[in-house]
Amino acid sequence: MASVKSHIGKDLYKVKIESPGGNVVIADEPVSSGGQNTGFSPFELLGAALAACTSATLRMYADRKAWDLQEVNLEIEVKQNDTRTQTDISRKIELTGNLTEEQRARLIAVAEACPVHKLLMNPIEISTAEVKN
């Protein structure tokens, strides 16, 4: 299970997000949406979660197999359609290293099995409750 806490004060759309371990990320909206662009937008954070998980999963797998994977570079794009009834996420993966075509194909298949990819492909339910002070 993962958990985070967030806080927003008077600064428009600037959100401080903190993990239990003390890591901090700032989220904000772009200037075109009324924010100050001081951090990742919420959709960028979603893409970042998939990018981080995919990269780490590929590194872990290649290391376990002792394959010569030097670098993984990803480009993630998150888009909603005009009616906001569908979200499309595209993931482009660049693998650098002395890899065979079979190893490359296997790494692409492994990317589809990263935990965040699996989470996003399954039905998601969100429950909301107000906490009163």
Q: Identify the CA nearest to 71 among candidates 88, 89, 86, 58.
A: 58
Residues 62 and 100 in one domain: yes
Residues 20 and 78 in one domain: no
7's tokens: 């806080």
Residues 21 and 51 in one domain: no
pLDDT of residue 8: 96
- Condensed to tens digits (0 to 9), the pLDDT of residues 39-65 reads 999 999 999 999 999 999 999 999 999
Whole-angstrom distance, CA of residue 50 vs CA of residue 58:
12
Residues 70 and 111 in one domain: yes
- The range of the structural domain enclosing residue 11 comes to 1-40
- Condensed to tens digits (0 to 9), the pLDDT of residues 28-42 reads 999 999 999 999 999
Beta-bridge mates of residue 17? 6, 25
User: How many independent structural domains does the chain possess?
Assistant: 2
pTM, 2 dp: 0.91
Residues 29 and 48 in one domain: no
pLDDT of residue 9: 95
129: in domain: no
The HSE-up count of residue 16 (CA atoms within 13 Å, CB side) is 9
Whole-angstrom distance, CA of residue 20 vs CA of residue 109:
32
128: in domain: no
Q: Identify the CA nearest to 67 among candidates 93, 97, 92, 95.
A: 97
Q: What is the mean pLDDT of the chain?
A: 95
26: in domain: yes
* DSSP string computed for 57-93: HHHHHHHHHT-EEEEEEEEEEEEE-TTSS-EEEEEEE
Query: CATH code at 52?
Result: 3.30.300.20
